[in-house]
Amino acid sequence: MSFFNLSRRGLLKGSAALGAGLATPTIFTSSAWAQGYLNEPTGDTVTFGFNVPQTGAYADEGADELRAYELAVEHLNGGGDGGLLQTFSSKALTGAGVNGKKVAYVTGDTQTKSDAARASAKRMIESDGALMITGGSSSGVAIAVQGLCQEAGVIFMAGLTHSNDTTGKDKRRNGFRHFFNTEMSGAALGPILEANYGTDRKAYHLTADYTWGWSQEGSMKTYTEAIGWETVAAVRTPLGAGDFSQYLTPVLNSGADTLILNHYGRDMVNSLTQAVQFGMRDKVVNGKDFVIVVPLYSRLMAQGAGEAVKGIFGSTNWHWSLQDAGSQAFVKSFGQKYGFPPSQAAHTCYVQAMLYADAAQRAGTFHPCAIVEALEGYEFDGMGNGPTLYRAEDHQCFKPVLVVKGNENPTSQYDLLEVVDVTPTEKVMYPVDHPDFQGGDLGTCNAGI
């Protein structure tokens, strides 16, 4: 590949037309008419676009997502041990590529910024001919890229995005989410918190002041108030505040006996460490031990908080210590290739890539509308989360949610979380017209014509 021919499409078309010599410019033809759908693969490969954060605060998570994608491509093309293809309930994929075409991929850097994410997604669609965009590590980016894919006419398989809006008010026909959301976190955590901490608690929320934080705060309030907890205060903290002391000291004398940290990433690491530093884990208020809850956990981020996570409850989409056949197969092939277990971000991305490939194989085409049809209402199993449904009405996956707790006695540096409970699907299922998810419309599927 020469330096100046970076574009795969440019290269293909360039070499195909080589020898034609000085072709005269034909009358402008709209690309729309030439193809049945945008980026219809004509060669023997099909291109996926992996759009992950490579720079910025979530770069490590992005790197893990990319590892998972590379593994997925390897498995789709028949390499390695096949990974989850062995346990997947659908047997359409055999490791011989998808629809007879080998899977190729291009990568891009979202920088965890909507603009940059859309720019790199556009590059992959326009220049590299990607048929499907997947990845991302924040809801803002996921929603922005999902909107772009809808307008461009390709499929978007969301990576790590936890906000309700992704499949709520910002849902799109071309976009699909495997990851869970704040509503499910709340629904799963509620009963566990009740069982462990009782019904008489006073909760103090610290919330990251942006869309996901508000969404998480809302869900946690709903479910903790449902078990009889009282919300003392909900304070918004600026994103990336670093030192949270000015938000933490009011908690100490507020009469609250529970602190709920609606933070993620660096904010979570810092606010949790500092809360522990302020003695909150050793405190006794109203005759009860003071407790901290982190609604959304990520093992990668928990590493950053070190000792502080011990004994603290939260929820997660998947964890490598799960014992079902799917999880074990995935941990095995990931661990053997990279030497450490995959994160939940890696898992959801791997599964999303597989689900897309499977849908295309079952539909027999890469036409976005056919794939939408194949995924809508699709039920599958063996991907590490148990029986799962891709609901047709909002393109959200419904599957059991894990409630986890910071491990008191980790046996290795990866063994930070322990699975406390697997909340069954029906407990976290919500109706399509749930008030937190209203105001959106899937619209119609767009094939880019």
Contacts to another protein from residues 295-334, by CB under 8 A: 300-301, 303-308, 320-321, 328, 331-334
- Residue 362 CB, nearest approach to another protein (Å): 25
User: Taking CB under 8 A as the rule, does residue 94 contact another protein?
Assistant: no
What is d(CA 182, CA 165) in angstroms, rounded to the nearest whole number?
10
Nearer to another protein, 25 or 431 (CB): 25
Taking the CA atoms of 51, 52, 54 and 55 in sequence, report the sign of the dihedral they define.
Answer: positive
- 126: tokens are 């326009």
**At which residue do the structure tokens 């092939």 appear?**
333
Among 94, 196, 249, 286, binds another protein (CB under 8 A): 249
Task: Look at residue 86 and give its three-state secondary structure.
Answer: helix
Contacts (CB under 8 A) with another protein, residues 341-370: 341
Please report whether residue 206 would count as binding another protein according to CB under 8 A: no
* Residue 287 is a binding residue for another protein (CB under 8 A): no
Q: Please give the Cα distance from 8 to 20 (Å, whole number).
A: 19
Amino acid identity of residue 289, one-letter, is: D
Q: Does 446 bind another protein (CB under 8 A)?
A: yes
Residue 159 in contact with residue 134, Cβ under 8 Å?
yes
- List the interface residues with another protein, window 139-168 (CB under 8 A): 139-140, 143-144, 147-148, 150-152, 163, 165
Cβ–Cβ < 8 Å for 87, 326: yes
User: Closest Cα partner for 397 from 223, 157, 212, 192?
Assistant: 157
Q: Which is nearer to another protein, 1 or 431 (CB)?
A: 1
Instruction: Report which secondary-structure segment, H or E, holds 285.
Output: strand 284-285
Q: How far apart are CA 276 and CA 309, in angstroms?
A: 9
Identify which of residues 117 and 428 has a Cβ nearer to another protein in the complex: 117
Nearest-angstrom CA–CA distance, 276 and 81 = 43
Segment 29-48, which members bind another protein (CB under 8 A)?
A: 29-32, 34
For the bound state, the minimum distance from the C-beta of residue 400 to another protein, rounded and expressed in Å, comes to 20
| Contact residue for another protein among 253, 408, 426, 431 (CB under 8 A) | 253
Interface of this chain with another protein, residues 173 to 202, rule: CB under 8 A: none
CA distance 386 to 379: 11
For residues 171 and 149, what is the distance between their CA atoms, to the nearest angstrom?
12
Q: How far apart are CA 127 and CA 107, in angstroms?
A: 12
Which is nearer to another protein, 206 or 428 (by Cβ)? 206
Name the residue nearer to another protein (CB basis): 34 or 426: 34
Q: With CB under 8 A, what is the number of residues at the site for another protein?
A: 122
Least distance from C-beta 116 to another protein, angstroms? Answer: 8
Q: How far is the CB of 449 from another protein (least distance, A)?
A: 10
> Would you say 368 and 377 are in contact if contact means Cβ atoms under 8 Å apart?
no
Min separation Cβ 92 and another protein, Å: 26
DSSP tag of 84: G
Q: What backbone torsions phi and psi does residue 231 show, to the nearest 5 degrees? A: -90, 110
**Minimum distance, C-beta of residue 426 to another protein, in the bound complex (Å):** 29
Residues in the chain: 449
The residue from 45, 99, 211, 222 that contacts another protein (CB under 8 A) is 211
Q: Which of the ranges 118-126, 181-189, 191-199, 385-393 carries the binding residues for another protein, by CB under 8 A? A: 118-126
Among 245, 311, 379, 434, binds another protein (CB under 8 A): 245
Residue 252 contacts another protein per CB under 8 A = yes
Segment holding 184, helix H or strand E: helix 182-197
Residue 255-284 contact track with another protein, rule CB under 8 A, x = bound: x----------x--xx--xx--xxx--x--
d(CA 85, CA 70): 15
**Binding test (CB under 8 A) with another protein, winner from 113, 288, 310, 391:** 113
Q: How far is the CB of 209 from another protein (least distance, A)?
A: 4
Interacting positions 372-431 with another protein (CB under 8 A): 412
Backbone angles phi, psi at 135, to 5 degrees: 120, -170
